[in-house]
Structure 1
Amino acid sequence: MQLPARQPSRIGANILRLPLFLLLVGVFSASMMLPAVYGGVARDLEAARAFLYTAILGVSAFAMIGLAHAGRDPRHGSLGPLMSLLCAFVFLPLLLAVPFYEGLGTTTFLNAYVEMVSAITTTGATMFDDPERLNGTLHLWRAQVAWMGGLLMWIAASAILAPLNLGGFEVTARAEPGRMQTRDTTMSAPEVRVRITKVSTVLIPIYFGLTVLLWILLAVGGDTGLVALCHAMSIMATSGISPVGGLTGANSGITGEAVMMLFMLFALSRLTFSTDTVTSDTGGLRTDPEFRIGIALVIVVPLVLFFRHYLGAFDVNAEDDLQGAARAFWGSAFTVLSFLTTTGFISANWGEAQAWSGLGTPGLLFMGLAVIGGGVATTAGGVKLLRVFALYLNGLREMERLVHPSSVSGGNPMGRRLQKGGAFIAWIFFMLFALSLAFLTIALTATGVAFETSLVIVVAGLSTTGPLLEVAAGAPISLAELSGTAKGVFVAAMVLGRLEMLAIIALLTPDLWRG
């Protein structure tokens, strides 16, 4: 009577002992059943069969490899899951692209692979300029992969990156990036698995519940079920993926945008949904530097754009159009928050803002917001607000020392999350980001792409803000027209932007693997 009771726990324990990358293969393969069922209901039978057969193939491969790994412990400790993250962004899309390629049937496998890398890294750039080229099943799969990629980063931030002082936590930690606080506290493989399990148990219900809530609110606002679900997934993952080409094709209007804007606040700070990664006592969102800087940018930048638009409207005698002014301000505020969180949705009122003033806003503004990015340990990309805050505090301190060279800096509630050398480490990361931007831009230019186009493409990849390709340049950039080498450079930019350069350097350090 005891053997059957123990068997499930042994099976669960054996599953948890598998490498993280193999677990991701099993989870993503099983998740293909959702688009398979949707395709069957929507009578997209060819796409449904592609997802069904690939799901069976992936789950079967996972089961057989899992049996071969039964009883084995991963050889590496904390850096093993970090390597699994890298493999998830580089190799897992090869599997994810199979049903997409077979279900579409009118594209190359390379294009399908780039599409899946863009989705799982929450970049949201698409190879298909016309959304009507993809059926609802493929649109659902793109949004679902991005949603699961966002959830992966939510979990990895607390369970993998935070203990290694990576992903923005190097600014707050006392140890060097890529290392624990002390060598004695290096987590073993079992401890890493336990941490991942605990974090997943807490965060998955929150992530899933918020997505379902947003889905219901958008559906009530007037969107169809598929559009509402894809937009809800895209907001939570900050991917900007839409089955109707953006918010201009949605039916929820300004009500839907207001709801989306509320949920985009979760990408400004980890404190909006969890306190599992805070390294020191804080006063909550009221004193959180990331949230306060994000809100300040969302207020100040639209005001600057508003008055800039107002001056333009004055020249065309439209300054008395108060309703147009209100729509212009709303369109600016929503779009600024969207690009700051690297989501990339453009308000349906953004065009009215430009028409009201007669002026166009340069794409450089959107590129700057995307580079700044959202909060540490969220689904947002970019440099991150906490690093920007560290550099800001350091600049204030240096100006203070110019006036009072012998002064001693006093702590403030907002700066207590930063370690003494946090600004120095943030500056190192910013330099690595700039060098990566320069190197990848040169590499992309060498493939024959124009310099300005190359710069926009690389910024979109490093900041994981794919919609920049549509608005940052003079004309929308078509990824499908790039050569195979250029697409490879864009894939490298997306992976590097999602995992960050400090994590890559940590993986390339041999002594860390011996720890």
Structure 2
Amino acid sequence: MHFSVILRILGLLLMLFSLSMLPPLFIGWIYNDSHLEAFGYAFVITLVTGFLIWAPVFRVRQELRTRDGFLVTVLFWAVLSGFGALPFMLHEHPAINVVDAVFESMSGLTTTGATILTNIDELPKSILFYRQQLQWLGGMGIIVLAVAVLPMLGIGGMQLYRAETPGPVKDAKLTPRITETAKALWYIYLSLTVTCALAYWAAGMDLFDAVGHSFSTIAIGGFSTHDDSIGYFNSPLIDAIAVVFMLIAGINFSLHFFAWRHRQLGHYFKDPEVQAYFIILGGVSLIAMLVLSVTGTYSLGKSVQYGVFEVVSIATTTGFSTSNFSVWPTFLAYLLFLTSFAGACAGSTGGGMKVIRVLLIYRQAIREVTRLLHPNAIIPIKLGRKAVPDRVGEAVWGFFSAYVFIFILLFLALIATGLDLPTAFSTVASCMNNLGPALGDASLTYAELPDSSKWILSFAMLLGRLEIFTLLVLFTPMFWRR
């Protein structure tokens, strides 16, 4: 383990992250925030700490090994979430404790969208902007991690889809160098954000809300500058814009790169994961519209508007809301939560297990049923016209087993802290899938949950964002052996 290399990277990350305190400082100055020193102190503390970590090892030029990469990846979110909590702790409004500040920061950077804050409309603009910015930065970090870093370490959803599986993504490698890949992804991510902000602005949002909501939409985060989320605007046009950009952000960013580089869109329709993604969203949306209409929850028009929006928002793990789906028919509320387990596509800013894994599990199940009828048949699993190696299938089942096992453990741990069954189930599902909204006592905010529950859920957010194995490998004795 090259700790000097790890410390050099960590120090650089902290110094770069300190710069994220400056835009909220500027926003607060524009809107006459009287407590701007919180961001000033946070900037200095983060910058100085990063410098003190980096300075003793800045001359080190050793290569980063695979094990070093695992540790750096985990530290990226864990350490930055800790320092990202400083403005929440130092600002007088809101006045929150360490647990709540870390929870809010972790939720932002992992693009979960769960919040402990109340009366969001009354918060200073600097804090509101900072929350949205956290999600935007976290979303970009996820994309670079999933598309550029994790395949190098041999882990993650993209390892299954791009490194192991033939198809348009692998055949059209992004760029030969990771720095070029990251730069290309930044261009796409920034372009989508600007386009989304302009669309929101043209639809009636003011500039501050348009920029803030574009941050959380493209990051599939779900934080809002209002207590009523997107429902605050009461605009079918804004709802439609949000749905379109949530759908786009939930698609593999490698496919967006391919479209940008080659100026064509046909590969989207040929991609098996994208096909499954839209089939899931379309099917669940149809069910939601029918249930809401038949039960008289809304009129037919509102059933279509609210049903489609909430399905796309929950299934892509964004977490925006236009209505309180926790009071919908119980069947529908739980169906939405189960849909979030599939989540968005691999290589997107979305959470969940990823559609590609669900698709492969489904096709493996079909193969096993077919084998009962034809025991001697050789039946390959295919994505498109290409066979999927058995090693990929084993990795998918291993991930699924670990996901379910850890979900059960965290679910029991939350019950042990005193939560009721609906609250425990929905909060651990929401945080592991990086979704945000929940049922029961957390339907409006996570503020009333015990501190022990918040620590567990913060851990669940990190587990979900790092695709479980990236974090779990650090707890194995073999990882630390020389």
TM range (shorter): 0.7 to 0.9
Partner residue of 2:42?
54
In 2, are the aligned partners of 1:227 and 1:244 still within 8 Å (CA)?
Answer: no
Task: Judge conservation of contact 2:94–2:123 (CA < 8 Å) in 1.
Answer: no
- In structure 2, the residue matched to 1:72 is 60
Structure 1 unaligned regions, length at least 5: 1-15, 176-193, 277-281, 319-323
- Which residue is equivalent to 2:320? 345
Aligned residue among 12, 22, 27 for 2:16: 27
Q: Give the partner amino acid of 1:223.
A: M
Mean CA deviation greater in 505-514 or 363-372: 505-514
Instruction: Please list the CA deviations of residues 347-384 of structure 1 after superposition, one character each: whole Å capped at 9, or x if unmatched.
Output: 35979x96xxxx56532112111111111121111111
Would you say 1:476 and 2:443 are equivalent positions? Answer: yes
Alignment pair present for 1:448 and 2:418: yes
Greater shift, 114-123 or 125-134, is seen at 125-134
How far apart, in 1, do the equivalents of 2:255 and 2:324 lie?
27
Whether the 8 Å contact between 1:370 and 1:382 is mirrored in structure 2 is: yes
User: Which of 312, 315, 333 in structure 1 is aligned with 2:295?
Assistant: 312
- Taking only aligned residues, the RMSD between alpha carbons, in angstroms, comes to 2.9
Partner amino acid, structure 2, of 1:286: F
Report 1:2-41 matches (<5 A).
19-41=8-30
Does the aligned pair in 2 maintain the 1:170–1:425 contact within 8 Å?
no
Runs of 4+ deviating beyond 6 Å:
512-515
Q: Name the CA distance, whole Å, in 1 between partners of 2:451 and 2:324.
A: 37
Does the aligned pair in 2 maintain the 1:78–1:160 contact within 8 Å? no
Q: Which residue of 2 aligns with 1:191?
A: none
Is 1:216 aligned with 2:205?
A: no
Looking at structure 2, the residues matched to 422 and 198 of structure 1 have their Cα atoms a distance apart, in angstroms, of: 28
Query: Residue 88 of structure 2: which of 76, 86, 100 is its match?
Result: 100
Spell out, residue by residue over 1:405-453, the C-alpha distance to the aligned partner (whole angstroms, 9 max, x if none): 2323267552637322323321221111111111111112112222331
Greater displacement, 137-146 / 58-67 = 58-67
CA–CA separation in structure 2 for the residues paired with 1:294 and 1:238: 15
Q: Which moved more, 1:227-236 or 1:57-66?
A: 57-66
Which residue identity is paired with 1:404? H
Aligned to 2:85, the other structure's residue is in SS state helix
**Structure 1 residue 422 corresponds to structure 2 residue 388:** no
- The match for 1:137 among 126, 132, 143 is 126
434-443 or 299-308: bigger deviation: 299-308
Q: Deviations over 1:201-247 (max 9, x none)?
A: 11112111211111111011111122111211111111100011211
1:457 and 2:400 matched: no
Structure 2 CA distance for aligned equivalents of residues 121 and 399 of structure 1: 38
Per the TM alignment, residue 129 of structure 1 is displaced from its structure 2 partner at its CA by 3.0
User: Which one of the candidate residues 335, 339, 345 is aligned to 1:365?
Assistant: 335
How much does 1:96 deviate? 1.3
Q: 1 CA distance for matches of 2:125 and 2:421?
A: 36
Establish whether residue 289 from structure 1 lines up as the match of residue 272 from structure 2. Answer: yes
Matched residue type, 2:106:
V
1:454-513 CA-partner distances (Å, limit 9, x unpaired): 11111111001112x2xx338726422222222111111111111122212444456667
> Residues 204, 417 of structure 1: CA spacing in aligned structure 2 closer, same or farther, 3 A cutoff?
farther
Q: Distance in 2 between matches of 1:272 and 1:326?
A: 34
Distance 1:433 1:270 in 2: 24
The alpha-carbon deviation at position 397 of structure 1 amounts to: 1.4
Is this contact kept in 2: 1:271–1:284, CA < 8 A?
Answer: no
**TM score, norm. by length of structure 1:** 0.82
Q: Which amino acid aligns with 2:404?
A: A
The answer for the alignment partner of 2:250 in structure 1 is: 267
Matched residue type, 2:355: L
- Residue 382 of structure 1 aligns with which residue? 352
Query: Residue 185 of structure 2 aligns to which amino acid in structure 1?
Result: L
- The CA deviation at 1:287 is 2.1
Distance 2:226 2:331 in 1: 24
Residues 167-192 of structure 1, C-alpha deviations (whole Å, 9 max, x = no match): 224534788xxxxxxxxxxxxxxxxx
Structure 1 position 330 matched with structure 2 position 318 = no
1:129-185 Cα deviation digits (max 9, x unpaired): 32135222111111101110110011111222112232224534788xxxxxxxxxx
**What CA distance in whole angstroms lies between the structure 1 residues aligned with 2:163 and 2:203?**
47
Distance 2:351 2:46 in 1: 29
8 Å Cα contact 2:325-2:333 kept in structure 1: no
Aligned to 1:5: none
Question: What TM-score comes out, normalization by structure 2 length?
Answer: 0.87
Deviation at 1:399, TM superposition (A): 2.0
